[in-house]
Every structure is written in C-alpha cells, then in structure tokens.
Amino acid sequence: MFLTEGAQGLGLFAFAPLIILFPFLGLLINLTIGRKLGEKGVSFIAISAIILAFVIAVLQLLALLGQPIPLGATVPIAEWITVGDLSISWSMQIDTLSVAMMLMVTSVSALIHIYASGYMHEDVRHQGDPSRFTRFFVYFNLFVAMMMILVTADNYLMMFVGWEGVGLCSYLLIGFWFEKGKDGIGNAIAGKKAFIVNRIGDFGILIAMFLIFWVVGSLRFEDVFHWAHAFGEENVLIISVITMFMLLGVAGKSAQLPLFVWLPDAMAGPTPVSALIHAATMVTAGVYLIVRSSPLYSVTEVTSNIVAIVGTATAFFAATIAVGQSDIKRVLAYSTISQLGFMVAAAGLGAYVAAMFHLITHAFFKALLFLSAGSVIQGIEQGHHDAEHEGAEIEEPFDPQDMRNMGGLRSRMKLTFWVYLIGALALSGFPPLAGFFSKDEILADARIENTGLFLVLLAAAFLTTFYMGRQVLMVFFGKPKTEPAAHAKENPPSMTIPLLILGLLSVIAGALNAPGLHTLTDWLDDTLEHVHVTEFSISVAGIAVIFSTVAVVLAWMIYGRKPMKKGEPDPLRKILGPIYTGMENNWWVDELYQFLFVGPYVKLSQYLADVVDWRFWHDWFHDTVLAKTYRSLSYWLAWTFDLRFIDGIANGLADVTKGAATRLSVLQTGYVRNYALAILAGGLLILSYFIFR
C-alpha cells in the first residue's frame, strides 16, 4: 500500500509528509478531546501543529540547500487511483517552488493562528457561542493541511484535492457564524456562493485534467512538462485549450474577472480567516497553479496574453471598487482581488518570478493589514461595550466595521496604527518596503512586454495608494465619529505580537529578490524554466513612486484636510457623481449575474420540477396517458372483448381479470392492480407458448 521503496535515500526530504500530517494530527486531537482541553489547550495544540509544520518546511529548505543543485525530490506516500492507463499516487514534489510556498504558508499560518487564539477568544464571546472556539481551530488546521496538499502535490489530481479542500475550509469558515449576517442567513449564503463560484472554476480544472490525460497520458507534473518540452511546439492549439480551461479555475480561486464576486462576500468570515485564507494563502493558489504550469503557459502565447489581460483588467477594476467601499474589510477584499490581478498579470507576461515575489510579499503585508483591521474592529467592539457601560448613546444597529463610524484611532490604538501604516505603505509600493520591490518588478516587466497593460497597471497602482490613503485617513485620523471609536482599546499581546512580526516582514521581505541580488529568481530558476531576470528599472520605480505620492496627496486633500463628519456623504461622491455610485455598488456585477444566471437558473429548475417533471411526466404522461388509457382499455377488454370472445376459451384466466376489474374498479387504485394482473396473465401466456410450442 505505501510506496516505501522510493523513500530510501531521501534524507531530510523523507520528513516532507509530516507537513501534511502535523496539521491533521492537530485537528484530530482538537476534534476528539478539544472540549476537555479548554481554550488554552486547543489553541496550544493548533498552534504547535502549525509551528511543527513550519519546522518541517525549514527542514525541506535545508535539504534543498544541502543539494549541490537544489533540484529537490519526489516523495511518494501511497498509491491512490490505478485504473487502466490512469495511475496516480499520493506523492509530494519538493522543489524550490513548493518549498517557497510551504515556507510562506506555514509561517503566515503560524502567526495568524497565534493571533486567532486571542481574537477568537473575544469573538466567540461577542457572538455568543464560546463552544465554537474549538471548531474554529479544527477548521483552521484542516485548512493548513489542505493547503500543504495543494502546494506539495506532484500531480494535478492530488493538487486538486488540496484545491477543493481549501475551498471547503473557506466555505466552512465564511459561514462560521452561520446564524449571523443578513436575515440570519447572510453568512451561510456567502459561504455557499464562494463554494459554488469556485466549483465553476473547478469545472475548468477538471476539463483541463481530462485533456491533459488524454493527450499526455499522465497527470504527473514531471511527465506533463516533459511532454510540453518535447512536443509543445506542435501542440500549441491543444495546450492553449488546456491552459484556457485551467485559467477558469484560476479565476475562481484567485478571484479574477469574471469570477471574483465571491471574495468580497467572503469577508463574512472572522477576520483571521480573511487574513489567512482570503488574502495571504488560498486565493494565491491560482497564481501558484499558473506558475507551476509555466511550462504549459509559456508555450502558448494566446493564453498567456489572455491571462495577462484578465489579470490587468482585474487589477484595475477591483481597485476602482475599493475606492468606493466604506467597510474596512471590504476595502481590503477588493484590494486583494486587485493585487491578485497584478500577480496573474505578471504570470501572463511570463514574469513568473515577479508573480511569486509579489505573492510572497503580498501575503505578509495583506495578512498584516487584515489582522490590523481585525484589531481595529475588536478595539471598537471593546469600545462599544465600554461606552454602553458608561451609558453613552449609540445608534443601533452599530456596525464596528464601517469606517464612517471610526476616526481618530491613531491615538487610542498606537501600535495598531503604526503597523497598519506599514502595511498600507508596503501595499502602496513605497520604498523601501516589500511591496515596492515586488510591484516594481511586475511594472518593469509590463513596460517591456506590453505598454498598454503597463499603463493600466500603473493606474491600478495609483488607485491602490489612493484607497489605502483614504482608508488610513478615515480610520485613524481626524476625530472619533462615534462613541465606540472614542472608547476604542488596544488589544492583548497575543494579537499584537503577530502584528509586529508581520510588520517587520512587510518591511524586509523586499530583500528576498532585491535588485542586483535576485535571490528568489535564482532560487526558483532551479524549478521553473524560462525564468528571466527582470532588471530593476529606476525609471519605472520613479514613475510609480511619483504616482503613489500624488495619490497620497490627493487622498489627504480629499479626506485628510477636512475630515468627514458623521453622517456626511463621501466627498468623492460630489466629485465623481455616478461613477462613485458604481464603485460603491461593485459596478452592479452581482446584480448582473443575478439577472443573467442565478435568476434564470432558479426559474428554469422550478419550471423543470413543477411543470415538466410533475405536471407533464408525472401527472399527465403517467397518470393520464398511461394509466387512464390502460384503464379504458381494460374496461373494454373486460366488458366487451373479454365477455364475448375470451370467456368461453380461457375461463379461469378471464375470470380472474374480470373479477379483479369489477371488484377493483370501485377502488381508486383499482386500475393498476388490474393492469398488473393482466401483465402477469400476458407473461404466463407468452411463457406457455414457449414451453408448449
């Protein structure tokens, strides 16, 4: 059962399966005895599991560094599906790309787990069900395990297990407070939406896998890429089709146009979920998939161009929406979509390393921003509680996530403010923070490859700085707009220490692929082919920084100079008019989809169920056509035909039929029994014919 023969001589690589196993063990322990452990014990188990996974990731890094050329290893675990020509194992591919993902995911996960142990302690009490603390960490551990399956798989099918597995965790965690949200069901519906939209994407992945299998004969990365290497040129068309279907999956998971609609709603999940799953890790899986499949993508110019266009369009489109949001987390959600667009665009342009670089830096600063936002929300909730205690008047319902209820938090939550600022600056791409280097690499690539896309990306970068400026000014500057904001409190160390570490990472992560050093480029070069070094471009960096500075100034002029007062409309509404309304309303994409797809689907299924299936097939065809016709026929047989002709010939048989007919015709269901008897009689007749012929 277990493929052990390959495991010898793997050295440290042999430990790789533990990176999946530890989180699983963590969740199993908490699932079975979590109730007895208490909150401390549960979070200890969950956090330890992830830290151990991180240790394994580091071991894998060391193992790679120990190789003369870090080519990595394949670590087989067990046989999985072997049918006909299809042969797929549970098997891990440890190489520079997967180790980069392992390190990023486990480190960010560990920090967010620690943060969540503090956050969820408060959250479960605010929401009124402390017993769900354990469940949260069970899901959280499961998520990490699934994410590890996703990034370590050595074939598409195993990757797909992780791919849908993280989607399941996303579903469960978005709907974690399943009785909350709009009408008490809003959160559950948001989770379902995420799952279904992702399934639409997964349809694409499935078709891509079918094509790959029937063309290549294998789903292993190694075989597929080898094939692409050897026969890619003459199979450009089929590879284009494969990669296009795959792109559908990418659009689902990484929230790209046209499937991005689930991610903003996913903010219904607790904030650590938004940080870990819907910003730092899961949503980047699509980018990872493209990068992993780069041997396929780099063959086909058609798809690569489409990928670049989809990414760029998403980057810009989502950035415009972010400008018009007033919910602190929704701004960040659209920002995530936009940044994922940058990564996808980079991958489409062939700048796979730039995409990975931005994926990693973004994981740090976006996790930081989300967690800080969580800190803000919880600070305000605390303030809400305290203000109520002091008898202050608060408008109900009070939304602790609405930035229009905030303001002036700079002085009340100093640490949160500073780390938030670092995150915002990193995201905006100010030197020397992490986002500066990674975004510059993408922009520099775009400028070389495609000027049109470069300009759109630049505009998106401009909007990024603008909406972050707007957010920071609305949340932290000016005067508190409500009592809860005025009473806001800083959070305990379990929450703030992870913020500090992530803040530090957001500052220094740019060094990963600093200009001139190309550490990450060299590192990934051993796994990815066609890696090209993008030289740091002073001019591009200069332009980007100038744009960002202008955006900050603009944001200050609009939101900083004269802070909005409570109840005052957004100043941008006056300036932009209907455009602002569009931004505020997500450009009515949800409404459009409702009109085009959801509504018609619901109507069509109801029509099929009520009219076609029930009234036509069930009532009319069966009950009327079949049954009634038969009933009339049997009456005719019994009373006319039967009496006159058969009676004398086959007495016994006819008597049964007739007797039954007379007796049962009074009953409502009589006709069918009669029918049964007639069939039986007919069967006997036929049988006797064969026997006695």
In the complex, minimum distance from the CB of residue 614 to other proteins, in angstroms, rounded to a whole number: 9
> What residues contact 68, with CB distance under 8 A and at least 6 apart?
none
- Cα 628 off chain centre by: 54
**What is the rounded distance in angstroms from the CA atom of residue 21 to the CA atom of residue 171?**
22
Beta carbon nearer to other proteins, 165 or 435? 165
**What is the CA angle 173-368-327, rounded to 5?**
65
In the complex, minimum distance from the CB of residue 673 to other proteins, in angstroms, rounded to a whole number: 7
In the complex, minimum distance from the CB of residue 139 to other proteins, in angstroms, rounded to a whole number: 11
Beta carbon nearer to other proteins, 82 or 585? 82
Beta carbon nearer to other proteins, 157 or 380? 157
**What is the rounded distance in angstroms from the CA atom of residue 156 to the CA atom of residue 494?**
38
Beta carbon nearer to other proteins, 199 or 532? 199
Q: What is the 3-class SS of 405-460, one letter each residue?
A: HCCCHHHHCHHHHHHHHHHHHHHHCCCCCHHHHHHHHHHHHHHHHCHHHHHHHHHH
Q: Which residues of 124-141 are buried (b: 16+ CB within 10 A; e: fewer)?
A: beeeeeeebbbbbbbbbb
Beta carbon nearer to other proteins, 161 or 394? 161
Q: What three-state secondary structure class fits 571?
A: helix
Beta carbon nearer to other proteins, 10 or 672? 672
In the complex, minimum distance from the CB of residue 87 to other proteins, in angstroms, rounded to a whole number: 10
In the complex, minimum distance from the CB of residue 149 to other proteins, in angstroms, rounded to a whole number: 8
> What residues contact 75, with CB distance under 8 A and at least 6 apart?
6, 7, 10, 13, 14, 16, 17, 91, 92, 93, 94
Phi, psi angle pair for 401, to nearest 5°: -105, -5
In the complex, minimum distance from the CB of residue 25 to other proteins, in angstroms, rounded to a whole number: 16
In the complex, minimum distance from the CB of residue 617 to other proteins, in angstroms, rounded to a whole number: 5
**What is the rounded distance in angstroms from the CA atom of residue 692 to the CA atom of residue 52?**
80
**What is the rounded distance in angstroms from the CA atom of residue 24 to the CA atom of residue 30?**
10
Beta carbon nearer to other proteins, 151 or 157? 157
Beta carbon nearer to other proteins, 666 or 691? 691
The closest of 254, 336, 283, 315 to 105, measured between CA atoms, is 283
Beta carbon nearer to other proteins, 158 or 540? 158
In the complex, minimum distance from the CB of residue 112 to other proteins, in angstroms, rounded to a whole number: 24
In the complex, minimum distance from the CB of residue 459 to other proteins, in angstroms, rounded to a whole number: 35
Query: Distances in Å between the alpha carbon of 230 and those of 197, 290, 422?
Result: 35, 20, 47
Beta carbon nearer to other proteins, 14 or 215? 215
**What is the rounded distance in angstroms from the CA atom of residue 577 to the CA atom of residue 382?**
36
Q: Which residues of 220-253 are buried (b: 16+ CB within 10 A; e: fewer)?
A: bbeebbebbeeebeebeebbbbbbbbbbbbbbbb
- Nearest-10 crossing angle of helices 434-449, 538-555: 120
In the complex, minimum distance from the CB of residue 174 to other proteins, in angstroms, rounded to a whole number: 11
In the complex, minimum distance from the CB of residue 60 to other proteins, in angstroms, rounded to a whole number: 23
Which residues, listed in sequence order, are joined to residue 78 by a DSSP beta bridge? 2, 90
In the complex, minimum distance from the CB of residue 199 to other proteins, in angstroms, rounded to a whole number: 5
Which residues, listed in sequence order, are joined to residue 2 by a DSSP beta bridge? 78
What does DSSP assign to residue 647?
H
CB 111 within 8 A of CB 127: no
Beta carbon nearer to other proteins, 225 or 675? 675
CB 156 within 8 A of CB 212: yes
**What is the rounded distance in angstroms from the CA atom of residue 589 to the CA atom of residue 414?**
38
**What is the rounded distance in angstroms from the CA atom of residue 20 to the CA atom of residue 152?**
9
Beta carbon nearer to other proteins, 207 or 543? 207
In the complex, minimum distance from the CB of residue 184 to other proteins, in angstroms, rounded to a whole number: 4
In the complex, minimum distance from the CB of residue 593 to other proteins, in angstroms, rounded to a whole number: 14
**Binding site residues, other proteins, CB under 8 A:** 1, 78-86, 129, 157, 160-161, 163-165, 168, 171, 175, 178-179, 184-185, 188-189, 192, 195-196, 199-200, 202-203, 206-207, 209-211, 213-214, 601-602, 604-606, 608-610, 613, 617-618, 621-622, 669, 672-673, 675-676, 679, 682-683, 686-687, 690-691, 693
Beta carbon nearer to other proteins, 479 or 603? 603
**What is the rounded distance in angstroms from the CA atom of residue 287 to the CA atom of residue 247?**
10
Beta carbon nearer to other proteins, 532 or 673? 673
**What is the rounded distance in angstroms from the CA atom of residue 84 to the CA atom of residue 406?**
62
Phi, psi angle pair for 194, to nearest 5°: -60, -45
CB 355 within 8 A of CB 441: no
